[in-house]
Amino acid sequence: VFTFGNCEGLQKLTIRKNRGRLTLYNVYCERQRLVIGDFNVRIGRKDDRPDLPEWPRDGETKYEGRSANEFIAEIQKSGALIIHGRKCNWEYTFQPPKKKKKNAKCQDRSVVDYCLVHDSKYSKILEAGFFDYDVLDIHADHLALWMVVESPLSSVSKSATQNNSRKNDPARLGPYNRKKIATYKDKLRETLTQLVQEKCASSTPIINWDLWWDIMLKGAAEVAPPRSRAQKKGTPWEPFWTKEGCQARNRRQEAARKFVNAKRDGTNFEQAREEYCKARNALRNQVRKDKTAFYKRINDELEKLSKNPQMSSLFWKKVYGLASDTLRNEKPFIGLRQPGSAEDSPVFDDAPTVARIFRDQYEKIGSEDPPPVHSFDLNARASAKQSLRQLEDLLLGEGPLDYKISVQEIVARIRKLKPGKATGLDHIGVELLKAIANNDIKETYDNSHTMLRWLCDVYNQVLDSGVMPKAWQIAVIKPLYKSGDRTDWSNY
């Protein structure tokens, strides 16, 4: 079974001596260079024993054996750049032996992961000694597979059989063009069959590297490019993240890992806990600093755009860009069926009909007679009457409600708003208002160009006219899907 991974690209075919199967190595083209990758070649020895695949990669090892020396020498002679994989404790997996001072922190590493080779030099790497010696254990287990080609050989390795169980994973086939994969698979099967026949005909494998190189280039360019940053899963990207913030987050993660290990082993627990708390607090301070700088920059840009009436569309586009990812990446709404209808009844997806269905159902629930309310006692009723009289006297005379609203009052109220709450129809978040308030408070309150002054004028006009804006009278009601049939209103 031939398996091909999608993360590192395509793979080069080799035939090992004294093996009844074919071994694959990752190869793909990047920036006009050939990248030979994911070798996991363990060429060192530890405690007079071979460096085994299941051992950690951060142990100190020594290079012994003619094949290991030839492999390293051939890479260095060809001008290849070895890409060290930081996979264990943020340590490099490969470090060539060299003269170093005593008590140096760097150690020799014996696991070669990737090397970057000029396209004019790759033939020297292919002729290196690791093709001819069984002492080198090339171990690779690819979880991300997008294609499986049946092997003409009868014997199948155990690892290949395990990988074959994941060949029909639909999630892995999604990002790629199925037509190109089919074309590439046909050409690849034909080439591999020819190579196997040549292997059976002679003891020394004869590989048509020119033909293989053309297939690799075409496949790497059209079929299996490296995954982009947007396709990777993990921590969602936020616009305010900076280089310093990412570094602080990495230090926090490293400190958290050490803290968990110390808690499990029972050694240096207090020290690890203190280091983790310091890294956590440093990350919080850095994120707070980056957020402040980010929203201040956004506020300056919005202030500049607001002065130009012709840039109003760009102004609101930038404001909408600050909305959460949940708002921008919502799943498409399928629609609703009429309540009480059959499952095969038509589904309505237009906004007025869907809104009417929700309104009718919740109005029916809300129109039911509420439970009887117990009457107040005499003291509470007398207190309520007295409060109403005081309010009536206040409204008839001149009181605080007759005064103009000031910018200082608006700033005080905005600062009390809780971040992360739901927005209105304009999708303007509390964080943006807080950033505007913090920036405008430093300016003169009489400045008519600030956004707080605009809000102040609107509020005072509402009090003078007694007319509330229609947008303020609309509540954003968002039905939340629970489970079950999405077309049934009761599942929201």
Give whichever of 89-93, 227-231, 454-458 has the largest mean pLDDT: 454-458
Same domain, residue pair 256 and 189: no
Q: Does residue 442 fall inside a structural domain?
A: yes
- Read out DSSP for 250-269? HHHHHHHHHHHHHHHHTSSH
3-class DSSP state of 438? helix
Please report the pLDDT score of residue 283 as a whole number: 92
Torsion 258-260-262-264 (CA) sign = negative
Residue 437 domain flag: yes
Residue 474 has a pLDDT of 78
Shared domain check, 489 and 344: yes
Q: Poorest-confidence range of 107-121, 351-365, 418-432?
A: 107-121
343 with 293, same domain: the answer is: no
**DSSP run (H or E) holding 389:** helix 378-396
Please give the pLDDT value at position 349. Answer: 82
Residue 10's nearest CA partner among 44, 46, 34 is 34
The per-residue pLDDT of the chain, averaged, comes to: 61
The whole-number pLDDT of residue 280 equals 92
Count of beta carbons in the 10 Å neighbourhood of residue 125: 19
Looking at residue 44, what DSSP letter applies? E
Whether 386 maps to a domain, the answer reads: no
**In this prediction, what percent of the chain has a pLDDT beyond 70?**
41
Query: How far, in Å, CA of 172 to CA of 480, rounded?
Result: 30
Q: Is residue 33 part of a domain?
A: yes
344 and 297 co-located in one domain: no
Query: Same structural domain for residues 17 and 122?
Result: yes
Confidence check: pLDDT of 251 > 80: yes
pLDDT of residue 165: 40
pLDDT at 455 over 60: yes
The residue with greater pLDDT, 51 or 270, is 270
238 within domain boundaries: no
The DSSP element (H or E) to which 306 belongs, if any, is helix 269-306
Give residue 258's domain range. Answer: 243-310
Tokens 């890409």 belong to: 83
Inter-residue contact 147 to 4 (CB < 8 Å): yes
**Three-state SS for 477?**
coil
H-helix or E-strand spanning residue 42: strand 33-42
> Both 133 and 248 in a single domain?
no
Cα–Cα dist 477/87, whole Å: 47
Q: What is the pLDDT of residue 65?
A: 54
* Residue 478 and residue 359 in one domain: yes
Whether residue 68 is found in the same domain as residue 132:
yes
- The mean-pLDDT minimum among 143-147, 346-350, 442-446 falls in 143-147
Whether residues 180 and 283 share a domain: the answer is no
Q: Which two tokens stand for residue 120?
A: 């004019």
Query: Taking the chain, what is the end-to-end CA distance rounded to the nearest angstrom?
Result: 48
Tell me, yes or no, whether 7 and 32 share the same domain: yes
Half-sphere exposure of 123 (CA within 13 A, CB side): 6
- 109: closest CA among 158, 75, 60? 60
Region 194-212: mean pLDDT is 47
Which of 210, 214, 164, 140 shows the shortest CA–CA distance to 184?
214
- Name residue, tokens 């009718």: 360
Distance CA 453, CA 185 (A): 66
Residue 279 has pLDDT above 90, yes or no: yes
pTM over 0.85: no
Would 285 be classed as within a structural domain? yes
Measuring CA to CA, which residue among 59, 60, 44, 40 is closest to residue 112? 40
Q: How confident is the model at residue 359 (pLDDT cuts 50, 70, 90)?
A: confident
What is the tens place of the pLDDT at every residue in 300-321?
888 888 888 777 778 877 777 6
Confirm whether 236 is domain-assigned: no
User: What is the number of domains present in the chain?
Assistant: 3
Give domain status of residue 377, yes or no: no
Instruction: Specify the DSSP class assigned to residue 65.
Output: S
Q: What would the pLDDT profile of 164-184 be if each residue is shown by its tens digit?
A: 443 333 223 223 344 544 554
- Write the DSSP assignment of 205-226 as a string of letters: ----HHHHHHHHHHHHHHT-PP
Q: Is residue 328 located within the same domain as residue 305?
A: no
Q: Does 191 share its domain with 84?
A: yes
